[in-house]
Structure 1
């Protein structure tokens, strides 16, 4: 068997993800199929590339010599493909979860004047699938905190860029989780609450909620913050599939909801919740579809756009300025912090 680029990508993906199961998830392959392919590759190179254990894989002596060379091969091939895509003048298709403001596409198009930019809204799992399989070049993906679950690696702010594996990933911002209440609600005038204050509010008689559907990416955050608050979980009037839908319920029906500040709508009051959870908004891309220059432009434009959008959310921009350590990814776009 002669080694091909796809074989190099398999080896590098297993190495960067740290296990065969995670590598299979990133490549979109059944684990037994990936295991069988790795065995054929190892026979072709004349020895094992990895030592398998319950905690994952580690390179053998042969693997330590070959994996870096295979990673360089994948990186160079991806650079060639990304430049070829850019040279053809084809559209750059970007996915976004929850919702896609029209001004986002306009900002990206202005930053990439020689590239036609298209946007699409879809849920995180569908976005990752579309990037992996070539329907999208990149996607903004929202994710609850916890162990990485999408298999993507890399960070354009550091030494890595994800080019050794099928997908690259970099963090755009970590958003706080706040409380949305109807306009004029007295809690909004009281300022930030902490986890204990949120629990007290959730346990008040008569407090009604809208919450995410059980399979929505935001649902685990709600469970962690609300399900320990007495009977609050039993007073859910409706389950939604987006923050935008939840905000309509808050505004029009006098209920409460948890949200990220960027998910709020005019006509609701936001109550900061200090010291609880933040969720990740990350850019995931297919290395062979996005050149490094385009990637840097995308990341910088998305962070700048986020800051511009944060200015339109009452109180949020001031919060960011008072807590710059929580928004390190945005540091290039932040003014001098104000005194707390």
Structure 2
């Protein structure tokens, strides 16, 4: 793993907070997720950065060295970005400014947004960046590397970078389960989570709280998942199709040969689609139009999912347009 600016921000946050628990709260992370991230950073740097004690954490000699460098590098990078943004706003030719950069995690909306932007504004170059990490995408937008961050959060949990980004909720979906077409429950209108207690699970990775929310929902249903395979979307679909696992997906997941998607009874898990932007970014002036394009992309994704349109008709009495 290569050291990145977000890693330096994490190290600084831990040092400033004085404990992993307080730092996790400040960063909007679960404490186990922050601990795992710190271990990966320490492995990349060759040693422990903090010593844990009864009263919190204290930087080791290596940690003090890294912190000294971070406190120089991070403000310098921020100053560079602000200077570049001022320059971009000061009068660069319009042709040089017709570029929109969008970052996103896995899901159907990023492709739909790119298509709609390219169709509606053919003179604009759309640049994309993807990552499984919602926090990485949000940090890139906060630092001026992206114009927009298109991510998701579990339920009503707060999005990352709340102090530096303006977030707009563009849609809210139930989480569905993916089943092999031959699964005994494939013909059910909806599935009780407890009926899947003996199954292995598959899902795409992320650094938000979704894994914790899923585990909590399973506990409420009376079981603990035997195993969870975290992998890319194509591999998740394959594991479901061959009957190796059942999967979790957004309700907008498209119909796929060899598998079906079904709602979970009682909607124990919800996913919010969010668009974030820095309020001072040059592209922010067009934010309203971009929000509307994302919402239109979501509506189009809904129409491609027969399971979701059925769920909406049953639960709201309305058809998805």
For this structure pair, what is the TM-score category when the shorter chain's length is used for normalisation? 0.5 to 0.7
Structure 1 CA distance, aligned partners of 2:286 and 2:246?
Answer: 40
Deviation at 1:213, TM superposition (A): 5.0
Change (3 A) 1:246 1:190: same
Is this contact kept in 1: 2:236–2:247, CA < 8 A? yes
Question: Partner residue of 2:178?
Answer: 180
Structure 1 CA distance, aligned partners of 2:297 and 2:276?
Answer: 17
Q: Are 1:96 and 2:104 counterparts?
A: yes
Q: Secondary structure of 1:92's partner?
A: strand
Aligned match for 1:143, one of 150, 153, 178: 153
Q: Are 1:288 and 2:296 counterparts?
A: no
Deviation at 1:296, TM superposition (A): 1.4
Structure 2 CA distance, aligned partners of 1:132 and 1:95?
Answer: 12
Structure 2 CA distance, aligned partners of 1:85 and 1:281?
Answer: 33
Q: Are 1:314 and 2:298 counterparts?
A: no
Question: Partner residue of 1:192?
Answer: 190
Change (3 A) 1:293 1:254: same
Structure 2 CA distance, aligned partners of 1:259 and 1:148?
Answer: 20
Aligned match for 2:144, one of 134, 151, 169: 134
Structure 2 CA distance, aligned partners of 1:172 and 1:83?
Answer: 31
Is this contact kept in 1: 2:153–2:272, CA < 8 A? yes
For residues 176-233 of structure 1, the C-alpha deviation after alignment (integer angstroms, 9 at most, x for no partner) is 111111013232322023xxx211x1235xx332245585653123212224445552
Deviation at 1:129, TM superposition (A): 1.0
Q: Are 1:105 and 2:114 counterparts?
A: yes
For residues 269-312 of structure 1, the C-alpha deviation after alignment (integer angstroms, 9 at most, x for no partner) is 11112332211110001222254552111111111111111211
Change (3 A) 1:143 1:214: closer
Deviation at 1:80, TM superposition (A): 11
Question: Partner residue of 1:278?
Answer: 270
Give the TM-score taking structure 2 as reference length: 0.62
Structure 1 CA distance, aligned partners of 2:209 and 2:255?
Answer: 20
Structure 2 CA distance, aligned partners of 1:110 and 1:277?
Answer: 34
Point out the more displaced range, 124-133 or 265-274.
265-274
Question: Partner residue of 1:203?
Answer: 197
Cα root mean square deviation, aligned: 3.5
Structure 1 CA distance, aligned partners of 2:115 and 2:302?
Answer: 17
Q: Are 1:304 and 2:296 counterparts?
A: yes
Change (3 A) 1:302 1:323: farther
Gaps of 5+ in 1: 1-20, 27-77, 153-164, 328-332, 336-340
